[in-house]
Amino acid sequence: MPLGTATADTMPASGVPATVSADPLPTAQVDGVVWSMATVGNTVYATGNFTKARPAGVKAGGAGEVARGNIMAFDLTTGKLSTSFVHTLDGQGLRLMASPDGKRVYVGGDFTKVDGKAHNHLAAFDTATGKLVDSFAPNVHNRVRAIAATNSTVYVGGNFFNVNGKARTRLAAVKASDGSNIDTWKPAANDDEVYALAVAGDRVIVGGRFQQLNGAAHVGIGAVSATNGGTLPWSSKPIPAKDGEGGFSYVTDLRIQDGVVYGAADGELYHWFDGRFAAKADTGALVWLDNCYGATYGILPVGQTVYSVGHPHDCSSLGAFGETNPKTFHRTLAETFDARGTDQAKPGTNSNYSKQPIPQLLDWFPKLGMGSFTKQYQAAWAVTGNSTYVAMGGEFPNVNGTAQAGLVRFAIKAQAPNKVGPTTDIKAPTVSKTSTGLKVSWTGTWDMDNGWLHYEVLRDSSTTALTSVKRLSKFWDEPSMTFTDTKAAKGKHTYRIRVKDPLGNTITGPASAAVTW
């Protein structure tokens, strides 16, 4: 499929995956930042740096606000805060991960106590009861950033060097039963932090800032044996090697679906890779690499759609929006799970790839407000969900202009209000005389979750359309259109443009200057 010939949204063309709606759904809020989330059934667990949570639509300090110490839970289908999962971490949580059977959710971070009990940087909760698992209390001596789990083993990564009194170099495995060390698993991220882990059969995929894994060159990503920690083959090189001038890239998140690892990356300094990539979990072979510029913090594959959060500002590599001055940040993206074109831009700094396969960018652009809690001035840091709902967490104060702090949900068309329509920046058309009639010219607008829009021309005060024109409309490529009115009566006339999305949401622009025919 040639790039640019199709679009996707809540009502996509045949062969193109649908996205969730851009309508933000009422969701519990927090007073700080959410760094990570995990979904088990209809419950979303969220961790970060916050002290309070409150219902949707409630201002800080308002009715229903309750204490929540860096971890909380809410219902994915209703957005309501859980009253049965109430715990306190004495430091921020950085990563949440559920066990494959859904019976447990693990949290790692900077904390040393949970509910006043010693749990150094790693703890577990029983999802059936909501209770802290007291028997699982491994002693990790420093920060945990990454977690992956089987039903019997918990793999952790971060920036620690000792677990349960035994030397470990930023990677360790403990038993799910009692948190004791698995001494046969001792791989090493030799020179820098581990940020993300994922398990695929007998392989543990490791991502982070490191340039070496088990003493050999593996930049930002690699694979080790789930049994003995030995290095396994990984053929792709999505993360470029750092240079001597402070530039580098690193993996921030990893998710596996149907044998494919989807990775998120952050790059520091100009044009270092900070997009997304997909690779075969069993070999590391590259599936695609999206070189949009602007850091990516979280990624979520759902069926044929891949959602991500960060601050992309230049996706010319995908044949989409380019850089603006000043920069315009788009805090969410949706893309196809498979490759549908080749990279259209120059390679990034130190990139190992040029003209590599890329996914197709889909039409899904809700607006998350920039937050200030972390002083990094970002919006969403984490994304989770299922085939019906997608939830995002971060430090954003609003969504689509409506107050909604730190958490938000979106749903597929069948469960969404579907009220987000064309944007209101449609301008008055210009009208000129021709030999056959009055020529109406105008520029289109765009829609957050629909690519194809219908443009109708209205004359004077009439609400009956003279014509309807269907055009693919992007915020970076708003179409130009014309229509010649050959049936206007003699006299003065004005014209307006009415825009509809496929779900019937409509806006009407201002009238043109009057023209005499």
pLDDT at residue 508 greater than cutoff 80: yes
pLDDT at 11: 66
Residue 8 has pLDDT above 90, yes or no: no
Q: Do residues 137 and 123 touch, judged by C-beta distance below 8 A?
A: yes
Residue 5 has pLDDT above 80, yes or no: no
Asked if the model's pLDDT at residue 29 lies above 80, the reply is yes
- Banded model confidence at residue 245, pLDDT cuts 50, 70, 90: confident
**pLDDT of 347 above 90:** yes
User: Does pLDDT of 129 surpass 60?
Assistant: yes
pLDDT bracket for residue 424 (50, 70, 90): confident
Handedness of CA 108, 113, 114, 119 (dihedral sign): positive
Cα–Cα distance list, 348 to 77, 192, 213, 384 (Å): 40, 22, 24, 28
Q: What's 295-308 look like in SS3?
A: CEEEEEEECCEEEE
pLDDT for the residue numbered 417? 97
Predicted confidence band of residue 16 (pLDDT cuts 50, 70, 90): confident
* Average predicted confidence (pLDDT) for the chain: 96
Is a pLDDT exceeding 50 seen at residue 142?
Answer: yes
Percentages of the chain per state (helix, strand, coil), in multiples of 5: 0, 45, 55
Alpha-carbon distance 203 to 137, whole Å? 25
Give the separation between CA 105 and CA 510, rounded to whole angstroms.
53
- For residue 409, what pLDDT is reported? 98
Spatial CB neighbours of 455, under 8 Å, sequence gap ≥ 6: 442, 444, 468, 469, 470, 471, 481, 497, 498, 499
Contacts of 129 (CB under 8 A, 6+ apart): none
User: Which one, of 466, 474, 482, lies nearest residue 445 by Cα?
Assistant: 474
SS (H, E, C) 66-121: EECECEEEEECCCCCECCCCCCEECCCEEEEEECCCCCEEEEEECCCEECCEECCC
Average pLDDT on 223-234 reads: 98
- DSSP 8-state secondary structure symbol assigned to residue 181: B
Beta strand ranges found along 461-508 (DSSP E): 467-472, 480-485, 492-493, 495-500, 506-508
Interval 484-489 mean pLDDT? 97
Q: How confident is the model at residue 425 (pLDDT cuts 50, 70, 90)?
A: confident
Whether pLDDT at 1 is above 80: no
CA distance 337 to 341: 12
Please check the confidence at residue 2 and state whether its pLDDT lies above 90: no
DSSP, residue by residue, 226-261: TTT--EE------SPPP-TTS-EEEEEEEEEETTEE
CA distances from 19 to 107, 182, 334, 428, 517 (A): 29, 41, 7, 31, 46
Q: Which tens digit of pLDDT belongs to each residue from 189-217?
A: 999 999 999 999 999 999 999 999 999 99
The answer to whether the beta carbons of residues 134 and 124 sit under 8 Å apart is no
Give residue 15's pLDDT. 79
Q: Using CA atoms, how far apart are residues 88 and 104, in angstroms rounded to an integer?
A: 17
Average pLDDT over residues 57-69: 97
pLDDT of residue 4: 32
Average pLDDT over residues 366-389: 98
pLDDT recorded at residue 3: 32
pLDDT, residue 76, reads 98
pLDDT for 6 equals 35
pLDDT band at 234; cut points 50, 70, 90: very high
User: Which pLDDT score is estimated for 344?
Assistant: 95
